[in-house]
Amino acid sequence: MSLVVVGSVAYDGVETPHGRVERMLGGSCTYAALAASFFAEVGIVAVVGEDFDQADYDLLASRSIDLAGLERVPGKTFYWSGVYSPDMNDRTTLRTDLNVFAGFNPKLPERYRGQSYLLLGNIQPGLQRAVRAQMLAPKLVGGDTMNYWIRETREELLETLQDWDFLLINDSEARQLSGHHNLKRAAQAIFRMGPRTLVIKRGEHGAILFRPEGHFIVPGYLLEDVFDPTGAGDAFAGGFFGYLAGLGLDLQDESADPKELRRAVIYGSVMGSFCCERFGVDRFRTLTRAEIDARYNEFRQFTEF
Amino acid sequence: MSLVVVGSVAYDGVETPHGRVERMLGGSCTYAALAASFFAEVGIVAVVGEDFDQADYDLLASRSIDLAGLERVPGKTFYWSGVYSPDMNDRTTLRTDLNVFAGFNPKLPERYRGQSYLLLGNIQPGLQRAVRAQMLAPKLVGGDTMNYWIRETREELLETLQDWDFLLINDSEARQLSGHHNLKRAAQAIFRMGPRTLVIKRGEHGAILFRPEGHFIVPGYLLEDVFDPTGAGDAFAGGFFGYLAGLGLDLQDESADPKELRRAVIYGSVMGSFCCERFGVDRFRTLTRAEIDARYNEFRQFTEF
């Protein structure tokens, strides 16, 4: 195992124009770990309740994900439900039952601590910081956050970000965190907070990778049908970071090929696009590395001139 | 001269978060012709009133634009004014005075009729069709339209499009015209209307080129400041089609390099991005071909992996 993923494992209820599912496996850690598992060996850190299904353990295990850090405690698993707008660019939360997630206090199993890559899903910044402190000497640390933490726990978040190599957020979060509407200026401000690699996720419009030496923009993949965008951002994070972990990339190593970060953004985009093709995590049940690489090549074909 | 551009020449009043200009040169024909003039010899067909300034004739002439088709008639020049939203993604029209444009009945000067390239700006589809009929045997014909014509003169527009090689519109227009929200399906439906090349302009998110054999997506250029987006879509059209006209590209010629259409989309994007850097057409007063090619290379740098 080389990549540790921390975040939520949840049950989701989702309604999109294509249908409705009352309860299915979800959560940021789940999506990111499943996506990353196509590139690297992954171990997760999360908490579930007594209602967590054996079939869902089995799905994670089928992708060789290390479950030593998946704590099971009395109570119910985190539950979220929401409904998407007709164009699926917006969603309304119907219910958020934190359940056992309210008491989540991530503890890394001994064999996780020496790993090189740490992906911190969108949880309370103080917890992200506590997890980072449990790692011995990771090569690359980064993750996600959201508008709520940027607004409510700004100081704690800024302290947390100081130790991160990369941050993956969406455009409105980048604007809110930096105070700049212009994304180039937002990136410069975020570099000063710590992370020297910023990936801005733009949903159907793709993603931008910002580095002090320049930026890279990838458009979104044109899907025939978007069934369910839930988890696409986390799948992106998993594909992005899974690819880097699989390579063993070390950003401190000056001989590292700077193009690899760009390729990681493409793999992130590929995994995000697959995620939308079925409800929940369903696409990852059948996805193959050959399909992933074929779509990677499609990105090359529809962007090169 | 090889490229004929038809459309409006106007005076615009524009307010953006960066300032306000009461009256400046504008119009779809103006922006497209100025942008195209960096790549090809351009002649325009448009109408202005007695108030049209000598300085504006001089600007067009300074770019070697053939003004034989710029008719001057009694009355005032078309005037439009509008105000942009703080993020400049939306605008509200404050005033539209058609003035002499209401009686626009484009007549091509004799020396225009034998030209190979015809770009039809967003005017009444019946007029676009009448202009097309005055050309002898153009190699490439295409242009723009808008939501108003799609809704109010749909049958006439469909008849007009039958003779077009390409259509350049924005995403909401493509959806409205085709009846499909999904842009891949929208493109298939539009191919059946006539044009075999569809360019969908997505504002700050770039553009998509659709062809029956596949598509190409370019992200938008990240500007430091967007001063005024007025005319950016027309400048895109001028850059796109000016580049093809400058090459002498013939889409019927099977030996033509299919990548040239992609490069034309990049040049369109480049011209649209420059257009936003100053109010109105101001950026085109000082722009050089070297600056254009430098930005073209930037597109390569920030998209390649």
For A48-79, the pLDDT digits (tens) are: 999 999 999 999 999 999 999 999 999 999 99
Segment A242-288, tens digit of pLDDT: 999 999 988 778 788 889 999 999 999 999 999 999 999 999 999 99
The average pLDDT across A13-39 equals 96
Predicted pLDDT at B255: 81
CA-based R_g, chain B, Å: 18
The average pLDDT across B77-104 equals 94
Residues ≥6 apart with Cβ < 8 Å to B230: B12, B14, B26, B82, B279, B280
Predicted pLDDT at A251: 78
The average pLDDT across A145-170 equals 97
Contact B305 A259 (CB under 8 A): yes
Predicted pLDDT at B257: 87
Query: Contacts of residue A259 in chain B, CB cutoff 8 Å?
Result: 305
Predicted pLDDT at A1: 73
Predicted pLDDT at A239: 98
Q: How far is A218 from chain B (nearest CA, A)?
A: 6
Q: Which residues pair with A201 in a beta bridge?
A: A170, A207
Question: Is residue A90 scored above 90 in pLDDT?
Answer: no
Cβ count near A212 (within 10 Å)? 11
List the A19-26 sheet strands across, edge first.
A19-26, A10-16, A79-84, A91-97
| Distance separating alpha carbons of residues A201 and A271, to the nearest angstrom | 13
Query: Contacts of residue A87 in chain B, CB cutoff 8 Å?
Result: 181
**Alpha helices in chain A, H assignment, sequence order:** 28-36, 54-62, 125-134, 147-152, 154-161, 171-178, 183-191, 232-247, 259-275, 283-286, 289-303
Question: Is residue A88 scored above 90 in pLDDT?
Answer: no
Contact B225 A305 (CB under 8 A): no
Contact A222 B205 (CB under 8 A): no
| Distance separating alpha carbons of residues A32 and B147, to the nearest angstrom | 41
| Distance separating alpha carbons of residues B203 and A62, to the nearest angstrom | 43
| Distance separating alpha carbons of residues A82 and A91, to the nearest angstrom | 7
Predicted pLDDT at A216: 98
Percent of chain A exceeding pLDDT 70 equals 100
Residues of A with CB under 8 A from a CB of B: 87, 181-185, 202, 205-206, 208, 214-220, 222-225, 259, 262-263, 265-266, 300-305
Query: Contacts of residue B224 in chain A, CB cutoff 8 Å?
Result: 182, 184-185
Predicted pLDDT at B146: 95
Q: Looking at chain A, which residue has its C-alpha nearest residue B266?
A: A305
The average pLDDT across A162-191 equals 96
**Binning pLDDT at 50, 70 and 90, where does residue B225 land?**
confident
Segment B13-60, tens digit of pLDDT: 999 999 999 999 999 999 999 999 999 999 999 999 999 999 999 999
Helices B259-275 & B28-36 angle (0-180, nearest 10):
120
Tokens of A80: 């979220």
- With b meaning 16 or more CB within 10 Å and e meaning fewer, what string describes A103-134? ebebebbeebeebbbbbbbbbbbebbbbbbeb
**Binning pLDDT at 50, 70 and 90, where does residue A123 land?**
very high
Q: Which residue in A182, A215, A217 is closest to B224 by CB distance?
A: A182
Predicted pLDDT at A257: 87
Query: Contacts of residue A224 in chain B, CB cutoff 8 Å?
Result: 182, 184-185
**Binning pLDDT at 50, 70 and 90, where does residue A87 land?**
confident
Contact B217 A300 (CB under 8 A): no
Which DSSP symbol is given to B81?
Answer: E
Residues ≥6 apart with Cβ < 8 Å to B31: B231, B232, B234, B235, B238, B275, B281
Q: Which residue in B217, B263, B300 is closest to A302 by CB distance?
A: B217
Contact A305 B302 (CB under 8 A): no
The predicted model scores a pTM of: 0.95
Contact B219 A219 (CB under 8 A): yes
Contact B303 A216 (CB under 8 A): yes
Candidate from A92-96, A225-229, B56-60 with smallest mean pLDDT = A225-229
The type of residue at B181 is: H
Question: Is residue B111 scored above 80 in pLDDT?
Answer: yes
Determine if residue B297 is left, alpha or beta; phi over 0 gives left, psi from -120 to 50 gives alpha, anything else beta: alpha
Q: Which residue in A202, A300, A305 is closest to B259 by CB distance?
A: A305
Q: How far is A77 from chain B (nearest CA, A)?
A: 36
Predicted pLDDT at A60: 98
Query: Contacts of residue A218 in chain B, CB cutoff 8 Å?
Result: 219, 303, 305
- Are the CB atoms for B112 and B90 separated by under 8 Å? no
**Binning pLDDT at 50, 70 and 90, where does residue A136 land?**
very high
Strands B66-72 and A197-201: unpaired
The average pLDDT across A170-187 equals 96
Tokens of A181: 């509407």
| Distance separating alpha carbons of residues A223 and A23, to the nearest angstrom | 25
Cβ count near B205 (within 10 Å)? 20
Contact A181 B216 (CB under 8 A): no
| Distance separating alpha carbons of residues A27 and B89, to the nearest angstrom | 33
Percent of chain A exceeding pLDDT 90 equals 93
Predicted pLDDT at A190: 98
Q: Which residue in B185, B205, B263 is closest to A205 by CB distance?
A: B205
Place of tokens 């929940």: A280
The CA-atom distances, in angstroms, between A45 and each of A6, A68, B43 are: 5, 8, 66
Segment B239-298, tens digit of pLDDT: 999 999 999 988 778 788 889 999 999 999 999 999 999 999 999 999 999 999 999 999
Consecutive H or E run containing A253? none
Contact A219 B225 (CB under 8 A): no
Which DSSP symbol is given to A228?
Answer: -
Give the phi and the psi of residue A235 in degrees, each rounded to 5.
Answer: -65, -40
The CA-atom distances, in angstroms, between B135 and each of A185, B36, B142 are: 49, 19, 13
| Distance separating alpha carbons of residues A235 and A240, to the nearest angstrom | 8
The average pLDDT across B188-212 equals 97
Among residues A246, A305, A171, the alpha carbon closest in space to that of A1 is found at A246
Segment B145-190, tens digit of pLDDT: 999 999 999 999 999 999 999 999 999 999 999 999 999 999 999 9
Contact A303 B208 (CB under 8 A): no
Query: Contacts of residue A262 in chain B, CB cutoff 8 Å?
Result: 304-305
Residues ≥6 apart with Cβ < 8 Å to A139: A116, A117, A249, A250, A251, A252
